[in-house]
Amino acid sequence: MISATERTNLKVIKFVQELLLDEDDKAAITPALIEEKIDLVLAMNPKWADGLDRQELVDELIRRFSLWIGQDTTLQNKEGHIDWLIAARKQDWRYWQRYREWLERDLSINAVEALDQSTDRVLSLLEDPTRDGHWDRRGLVVGHVQSGKTSHYSGLICKAADAGYKVVIVLAGMHNNLRSQTQMRLEEAFLGYETSALDGETLQPVGVYEFNTDPEIRPNCATNRTEKGDFSTRVARNLAITPEQRPWLFVVKKNKTVLERLLGWIRNHVANTQDRETGRRIVTNLPLLLIDDEADNASVDTNEIILDENGKPDEEHQPTTINRLIRRILHSFSRSAYVGYTATPFANIFIHEKAETREEGPDLFPAAFIVSLAAPSNYVGPAKVFGTLGDNGRNKALPLFRLVSDHCTSDGFGGWLPPNHKNGFHPLYNGKEELPPSLNEAIDAFILACVVRELRGQGRKHCSMLIHVTRFTSVQKAIHSQVQDRMRHLKQRLLRRIDHQPIVSALRQLWEKDFLQATKQMAVSFPEIEPFEDIAWEQVEALLPNVIADIQVRTINGTARDALDYADNRENGLKVIAIGGDKLSRGLTLEGLTVSYFLRASKMYDTLMQMGRWFGYRPRYMDLCRLYTTSDLVEWFEHIADASEELREEFDFMADSGATPREYGLKVQSHPVLMVTSRLKMRTAKDLDLSFSGHLLETVTFHREPEVLEKNLAATKRFISALGNLGKPRKPQQYRNGVLSEWEGYLWESVPYQEIVDFLNCYQCHPKAKKVDSLLLSQFISSMVTENELTSWTVALIGGGSSRKPLRLDEGISVEMLQRTAHGKYQDRYSIGRLMSPRDEAIDLDDRAWMAALAETRRVFRADPARNASKEEPDLPNGPAIRRIRGFGANGVSARPDRGVLFIYAIDPQSAGEDAGLLASSPAVIGFAISFPASHSGTTVRYKANNTLWEQEYGGAE
């Protein structure tokens, strides 16, 4: 429970917030005005002034009123659906009303209102629970990692119960700690009481109970928050429900035994009739809402489905266990609604939309709807942490990650923790029971972060550090021992003040070289996040002994106790270093996460995104957060951050055009990001059918070997020479909103596709390139030509680097080479952050097409500004909009799906810097980019990879 002081603070905030809402000009809400409103509230009840931290209140209210929230977007299929949710149905909704009031303690009115509208939208896409007959609605809600999906489905459950859904089942992950955490969240949001009490004991009220104590609306619950609180045999034996009762809640794991028990109880104790055709016992009098949290994990049927000659799935197909049991539970109700929640929906979209079996009914494909939730402006996701692609590398990346290279030897086979270690491996640094310096520094950074949060008035808030370096519990145990020894040493020195000066000196050095600099940089470069006040080292040093004494070291092993600790320490806040693996990979919230030490090497799109526990909300301590990881993982996260934003924008566009979930599914399945999800979940064994339509592909990973670079340069010279036979190029220039825009270089138009194909067949890409495979691109272009697309090309040779080093490619054709510093240190390749400037992609658009692309860019921006780094509307069209306008046309601009654009760039090898190595002996590094117009054709090209190659590159299914 929260303290009396915190309860008073929340009451004052709530009243002041209500007063501020009456202000006509929200921009005029200043600290002085907030202070004035606080005085008015305290005048009503002077006792509330005791112990009140006015500055904290002012800061909190400024944050609340500076928050802005975008709009959700939806793909839907209304077939068989009857609209039903009108204002009259929402009168006297008591579960939602008390949840809303409870949320308003901690969230801005804007945030609560956005949640209200969003959950209304999802509920309206389900069926009216009072509707008679058989109905089945299945949908998917796509949020962001650590962005508040639990709050969303808690609100949906409250509204569903108000509307008349009688049975609510929540599938809460695979492990006890996540199930227990979810149970506690729903106690606060929906039940209003703790479920840990023994039979006959007085129920302990929590959460929403404070806002409505009427026992007549108290929901029933068949599970509890303890480690053994899942749906048990004892409960199943004694539990019976009737239609007259209040709604029932079941919070269960995705576990074979538990789900079989639940299914058996439904069929034997709840079912009230029998299906005439099959003899199945079904429930017709109780509408079901089933919430599938982390719906892409375990719920997806990964067994290969056999299709007949008409593309119809085999009705005798045997689904995987968890998928089979979830579907059978749904199939046991004549009126049911299934809503999956995930931040990584790709596995769900790979589900066959027409897969159905006799016993299980239809598969879990979200045929009715997919809703993409907008993120509020204070959400810190991949695009903010890792930045977005800019002219030369990444723009606006938060200065929070620190590269780790001392965890293993340079060949990757030795050292403290080599990437391919096995179960039972014992980590040693230089042959000793010690941590590598990078992990020692990360622990020091966590200590400093805890101290600063204390100085900022957040000492009673939870503060966590994540060490995620291995999936093996035996190795976690050894690391726990080493971290514990390190913390014991620090505590003894600092608390007893014996030989403590070297420790204090090291902490001060880290403070001055890292923390002060990062905070200053964020204050200048990221003022939209929030201001950070200055703190002197003397203040930090004075608090070190008290703070370090409170830090605990834990291994997260999946027991419910791990999840309960935060609740048990709510009064004073828990300071914990959490060491774990798979139990921390998905769903489990590490509250107040500040420092992450992360070495796990999975390269699957969804696995990496789910492992990103550091995404989320970090009010007043974003500048203290640190991510210690490898350059490889930073590169992968940058890549998937770009792909994620690209897919979300594609979703927005398809929603605006009235597309269905199936159409989006086809788009994602052919996306040229090969590691979108586990190969098993894609059920395509070794082959992927890829489409490059609507995508930009650019080479950012190159060979180092001079002979390969020479071959690529020779291929480029032959290509430029062949273009010369087609006629002289023109100077690249276009009018942009009436202003002439120019490039240095040459532009050839109406180039036959065969010239492009020949160039790509001669160019040798690096095997580590994530998306660019020249031979695969060549095959794709040839396939598109059969659809009368990509037949006529624009080729742009672009220079203009500051190196002022010209490269001659043909008679009268030369360009100044670009400068691109190495992005990450790799022995086997030369990687850069970005090849082309974003403005280059519109080089072929005339003024009218450019303005249309800008209008499309701004339309998408206005739909969800929270995903952007600035509130200001863009003044340049972005790539997705350019490719859509080129392919589909709009606003009087003709569609040109026949026209692709190939860009050629020459990079000065010397610009790689001290990492140039073999590059220095080459005259140039040639890179290319291709902008493919959007297309409706659905043409794909098949990518083949054998099992060994896939395992080596992307790792196994996790």
- Of 588, 624, 293, the C-alpha closest to 461 is 624
Give the chain's mean pLDDT: 84
Does some domain include residue 854?
no
Do residues 261 and 231 touch, judged by C-beta distance below 8 A?
yes
DSSP 406: T
- My answer on whether 760 and 785 are in the same domain is yes
State which amino acid sits at residue 821: T
Residue that wins the pLDDT comparison between 636 and 712:
712
Here the CATH number for the domain that contains residue 309 is 3.40.50.300
Residue that wins the pLDDT comparison between 943 and 932:
932
Residue that wins the pLDDT comparison between 664 and 11:
11
What does the pLDDT look like over 501-515, one tens digit per residue? 999 999 999 999 999
Residue that wins the pLDDT comparison between 667 and 437:
437
Rounded to whole angstroms, how far apart are CA atoms 916 and 927?
16
Q: Is 468 helix (H, G, I), strand (E, B) or coil?
A: strand
Question: Residue 35: CB partners within 8 Å, gap ≥ 6?
Answer: 54, 58
- Of 288, 320, 299, 289, the C-alpha closest to 365 is 299
- Of 283, 288, 286, 298, the C-alpha closest to 253 is 298
Q: How far apart are the first and last CA of the chain?
A: 37
Q: Mean pLDDT throughout 752-763? A: 97
Rounded to whole angstroms, how far apart are CA atoms 662 and 369?
9
Q: Which residues pair with 401 in a beta bridge?
A: 627
CA distances from 19 to 7, 66, 106, 455 (A): 19, 16, 16, 30
Does some domain include residue 262?
yes
Rounded to whole angstroms, how far apart are CA atoms 404 and 600?
12
Per-residue pLDDT at 803: 60
Minimum mean pLDDT range among 44-53, 111-120, 158-167, 378-387 = 378-387
- My answer on whether 444 and 414 are in the same domain is yes
Minimum mean pLDDT range among 328-337, 405-414, 442-451, 607-616 = 607-616
Q: Looking at 328, 351, 372, which one is the last position of a domain?
A: 372
Q: What are phi and psi of 773, to 5 degrees?
A: -125, 105
User: Residue 216 pLDDT > 60, yes or no?
Assistant: yes
Per-residue pLDDT at 26: 59
Q: Looking at 347, 372, 397, which one is the last position of a domain?
A: 372
Rounded to whole angstroms, how far apart are CA atoms 249 and 416?
47
Residue that wins the pLDDT comparison between 581 and 139:
139
Does some domain include residue 871?
no
The HSE-up count of residue 34 (CA atoms within 13 Å, CB side) is 21
Does some domain include residue 800?
yes
Per-residue pLDDT at 181: 87
- Of 325, 206, 310, the C-alpha closest to 261 is 325
CA distances from 562 to 173, 197, 312, 559 (A): 15, 19, 46, 6
Helix-, strand-, coil-residue percentages of the chain, each rounded to 5: 40, 15, 40
- My answer on whether 145 and 286 are in the same domain is yes
Assigned token pair, 480: 């726990």
User: Residue 586 pLDDT > 60, yes or no?
Assistant: no
Per the structure, how many domains does the chain have?
A: 4
Does some domain include residue 958?
no
Q: Is 847 helix (H, G, I), strand (E, B) or coil?
A: helix
Q: Mean pLDDT throughout 645-657? A: 75
Does some domain include residue 881?
no
- Of 596, 524, 526, 588, the C-alpha closest to 560 is 588
Per-residue pLDDT at 953: 44
Whole-number percent of the chain with pLDDT over 70: 83
Q: What number of other Cβ atoms are within 10 A of residue 473's Cβ? A: 17
Q: Looking at 326, 352, 372, which one is the last position of a domain?
A: 372
Q: Mean pLDDT throughout 206-222? A: 91
Per-residue pLDDT at 106: 79
Q: Mean pLDDT throughout 461-471? A: 89
Question: Residue 775: CB partners within 8 Å, gap ≥ 6?
Answer: 760, 761
- Residue 184's H or E segment, with its range, is helix 176-186
- My answer on whether 740 and 716 are in the same domain is yes
Q: Mean pLDDT throughout 593-598? A: 91
Confidence of residue 691 (pLDDT cuts 50, 70, 90): confident
- My answer on whether 583 and 727 are in the same domain is no
Please report, to the nearest 10 degrees, the dihedral formed by the alpha carbons of residues 343, 346, 350, 353 taken in order: 40
- My answer on whether 398 and 355 are in the same domain is no
What does the pLDDT look like over 849-890, one tens digit per residue? 999 999 988 887 766 655 555 567 888 898 889 999 999 998
What's the residue count for the chain?
Answer: 958
User: Residue 292 pLDDT > 80, yes or no?
Assistant: yes
- Of 587, 776, 777, 607, the C-alpha closest to 676 is 607
Q: What are phi and psi of 944, to 5 degrees?
A: -115, 135
Rounded to whole angstroms, how far apart are CA atoms 642 and 382?
8
Does some domain include residue 101?
yes
Q: What number of other Cβ atoms are within 10 A of residue 774's Cβ? A: 22
What does the pLDDT look like over 342-362, one tens digit per residue? 877 666 666 666 678 888 888
- Of 606, 661, 160, the C-alpha closest to 363 is 661
Q: What are phi and psi of 494, to 5 degrees?
A: -75, -35
What does the pLDDT look like over 94-106, one tens digit per residue? 999 999 999 988 7
Rounded to whole angstroms, how far apart are CA atoms 859 and 693?
21
DSSP 644: H
Confidence of residue 666 (pLDDT cuts 50, 70, 90): low
Question: Residue 534: CB partners within 8 Å, gap ≥ 6?
Answer: none
Rounded to whole angstroms, how far apart are CA atoms 114 and 209?
23
Rounded to whole angstroms, how far apart are CA atoms 449 and 442?
10
- My answer on whether 21 and 110 are in the same domain is no
- My answer on whether 493 and 614 are in the same domain is yes
Does some domain include residue 667?
no
- Of 471, 390, 506, 918, the C-alpha closest to 702 is 918
- My answer on whether 786 and 745 are in the same domain is yes
What does the pLDDT look like over 112-166, one tens digit per residue? 888 999 999 999 999 999 999 999 999 999 887 677 789 999 999 999 999 999 9
Domain, as residue range, for 536: 382-638
- Of 209, 331, 316, the C-alpha closest to 266 is 331
- My answer on whether 519 and 481 are in the same domain is yes
Q: What are phi and psi of 435, to 5 degrees?
A: -90, 155
User: Residue 256 pLDDT > 80, yes or no?
Assistant: yes
Rounded to whole angstroms, how far apart are CA atoms 366 and 76?
9
DSSP 46: G
State which amino acid sits at residue 459: G
Secondary structure of 285-315 in HEC code, one letter for each residue: CCCEEEEEECCCCCCCCCCCCCECCCCCECC
Per-residue pLDDT at 673: 46
- My answer on whether 10 and 135 are in the same domain is no
Assigned token pair, 590: 């590490």
CA distances from 363 to 331, 352, 916 (A): 10, 8, 53
Per-residue pLDDT at 800: 81
Q: What angle do CA 36, 39, 42 make, to 5 degrees?
A: 155
- My answer on whether 367 and 394 are in the same domain is no
Q: What angle do CA 603, 467, 679 make, to 5 degrees?
A: 20
Residue that wins the pLDDT comparison between 49 and 756:
756
Do residues 448 and 579 touch, judged by C-beta distance below 8 A?
no
Q: What number of other Cβ atoms are within 10 A of residue 837's Cβ? A: 17
Question: Residue 663: CB partners within 8 Å, gap ≥ 6?
Answer: 75, 654
Q: Is 149 helix (H, G, I), strand (E, B) or coil?
A: helix
Per-residue pLDDT at 25: 66
Q: Mean pLDDT throughout 941-957? A: 49
Per-residue pLDDT at 219: 94
Per-residue pLDDT at 304: 65
